[in-house]
Chain A
């Protein structure tokens, strides 16, 4: 260890301007920014391949590592969804597909997509890459812990994937892992499969906690001079709030995993009542399956906002940049994000209306659930009002944003159906729910991810992704995904339950066969279209057009680093100083249609509106 420490170099703090200059005529100088209150951060610069790219402490590299690992799991999830759709659309076509396999695929698909793909991608991937850059920090505050965080996640993914190869296969208990069935025979993978899943989740939580602490403290305590909370890009707000949710919600998941592991391994009865299996009474008794459901959803509902809030934040920035207009109602947007986050801890049991919990809870949870629609609605309004009288570049990034708005509003409104207790009664556990959450979680945030990839790829790789291919990618994905999930709601109306391996005989279900085939075909096409992106990325890395600095003419700090792509330490030898919010687009009277956050007021010719 010790020689490593010797290698550590600190980036020297510069002092071209002296303190006196500021404190002297503070009030008079309009460019005045308080002196730094935090000392310069020492960074560990890797030298060998291993310290530079594998066990690297640079948040940007860690972000890319997270991103690639998450995309890998996403592709696994995608392939699983293909297999599921193959069975649902064309039963019997895939000979190996038994009910066991089907349920294992559903479970792994759900869990991978929600936790290991979206959560890791948004918080681990975009969070690591963008937070230090956007708040003007040299790196995360604890780079070493950050590095461990990624490797914990990596091990968690490895354990998860290992469960495909253990005897009995991965768990097939549904991603909600409800006991008693999760750990009883009769459910696929009730042996090693479920154990590995629980271990993997626990590792994920531990690893995530390490990363999450980094994100939070970096945002709260390591911003650059002039960067107030209310001058942060909404991306940072979204990721920040989502991380807070994660720090407070994952404990419930950890606790329920531990308790379920004990039920499985030691034979405790936390969640296990007296159970009769094959005519024999098992050695369990007195536990309560509903307790697990409460714990799970106390985690699970915030979790769905963990994947939604970063998307909200990112899409706000993308819309604003590409509509060349300030985001409308920034304050409202921030309060809405924080409000949605706070409220999300009070709505968990809307997933349990028909679970047999205390029926009086229905009133409470229906009310809180529908209240969430109000701040969410404000966000939607503000996005579209931002477009109003803007100067909208209809490029790939903007297309993904528009797609996001359509799918999110659609999915949000079906959420309102489900949130309204008595409407949920007929629809719960049917394909209506499946359609709801794919629209709002499977498609909408995915659109944002894609938009973000097209938007920030030039920053990461220094080259522009190909627009034509991007447009193809968008249209196939958007139209395809919409035609998967919009009709699916109607399957729910006729009453088709979810998690059905086969629909067969029932009269109203046979009427759905045609639709199932159609949906499956659309799903194959949409899935395949994702390879356009991968092709695009590979092609661009080789022959793409160099991006140059700030190709989108954006304001936020990540585009104003000393080099593109930014190097370790992000900002060269001087940290930037922030003088304004990141949304000064098309300010009347300004020379250009954007004013970077670093431009001091004295350099801006007369502007009518002074906004911080």
Chain B
């Protein structure tokens, strides 16, 4: 058979700067999300900020620390598409939770039709 090439250096390394940047950004974002609590934002603003920082952080970790940004799309897609099932599950369970608490309040507390 063909000679197996000695597996050459296939993976490139990246400049240290990019890691330090991301690292710094993660600290900053964590600080911001902590500030959301510190300043006691409430309601929609709080939740959207929390989610925003959360997804940003998660995205940075995945993309750069876990090198997903540099991986080939075949891998990226295999990893991300299944999340639609989770998204569907989340959406429906949120609706289910609301429905449950509605019936509970309605029949156990409010009552009278």
Contact = CB atoms under 8 A, between A and B. Distances in A.
A/B touching: CB–CB < 8 A: yes
Interface of A: 13-19, 22, 35-36, 39-40, 248, 288, 290-291, 294, 298, 345-346, 349, 357-358, 360-361, 364, 574-575
B71 interface: no
What DSSP secondary structure best describes chain B's contact surface?
helix
Given A15-B1, A361-B92, 19 more contacts: A13-B4, A16-B1, A17-B1, A18-B2, A22-B2, A35-B2, A39-B4, A248-B82, A248-B85, A291-B93, A291-B96, A346-B85, A349-B92, A357-B96, A357-B99, A358-B95, A360-B95, A361-B95, A574-B1
19 contacts: A13-B4, A14-B1, A15-B1, A17-B1, A18-B2, A35-B3, A39-B4, A39-B7, A248-B82, A248-B85, A288-B100, A294-B92, A294-B93, A345-B82, A345-B88, A346-B88, A361-B92, A361-B95, A361-B96
A361 B1 CA distance: 58
Contacts of B100: 288, 290
A358 B96 CA distance: 6
B31 interface: no
Contacts, number: 53
A364 to B, nearest CB: 8
Interface residues of B, number: 15
Contacts of B96: 290-291, 294, 357-358, 361
Interface in B71-113: 82, 85, 88-89, 92-93, 95-96, 99-100
Contact of A36 (B2, B85, B92, B99): B2
B89 A19 contact: no
B78 to A, nearest CB: 9
Contacts of A346: 85, 88
Contact of A15 (B2, B82, B89): B2
Nearest to A274: B108
B20 to A, nearest CB: 33
Contacts of B92: 294, 349, 361, 364
A19 B2 contact: yes
A470 to B, nearest CB: 40
Contacts of A40: 4
Contacts of B1: 13-17, 36, 574-575
A361 B98 CA distance: 13
A349 B95 CA distance: 13
A346 B81 CA distance: 13
Contacts of A298: 89
